[in-house]
Amino acid sequence: MNTTSVVKIISFVVILGLMTFSLSAFTGTSINTDAEPMSDAPMFEVSGIVTDASTEEPVHGAVVSLHGHDLSTVTDHNGAFSFSDLPEGELTIVIEAEGYDDTEKDIYVNGDSHHLEIELEPEND
């Protein structure tokens, strides 16, 4: 391989590298994993207490989930639950507990935090 061929190959590689860099800079395809979230939209909290409708006692171990989202939690010994960092909008909260009818509650999240009091009806056998 003569010197002219080597120079042409090096020039080709350098030009190809510059074109790739320029194209990624032009199209904005670089990924910054340390970037701040794109939205400054306010986030909200929803919390509540789940109780037995007939005894008014807390229901611990109930599964509380947000329909259409991959979020769920379990009530503590006081029947309490909470979700944080929720965007504004409509949510359906689904509550399931052994021995009780499943319950759904539709809310609209906006403004300040929301505190819910949810009563579960015992299952009818």
pLDDT at 33: 44
Residue 69's pLDDT is what?
84
| Residue-level pLDDT at 17 | 56
pLDDT at 28: 45
Q: How far is residue 121's CA from residue 54's CA, in Å, rounded to a whole number? A: 7
Distance CA 76, CA 80 (A): 5
pLDDT of 110: 85
Judge contact between 110 and 41, C-beta under 8 A.
no
The full 3-state SS of the chain, as one line of letters, equals: CCHHHHHHHHHHHHHHHHHHHHHHHHHCCCCCCCCCCCCCCCEEEEEEEEEECCCCCECCCCEEEECCCCEEEECCCCCEEEEEEEECEEEEEEEECCCECCEEEEEEECCCCEEEEEEECECCC
pLDDT per residue, tens digit, the chain (125 aa), is 677 765 566 666 556 555 554 544 444 444 444 445 445 777 889 999 999 999 999 999 999 999 988 899 999 999 999 999 888 899 999 999 999 999 999 999 887 678 999 999 999 86
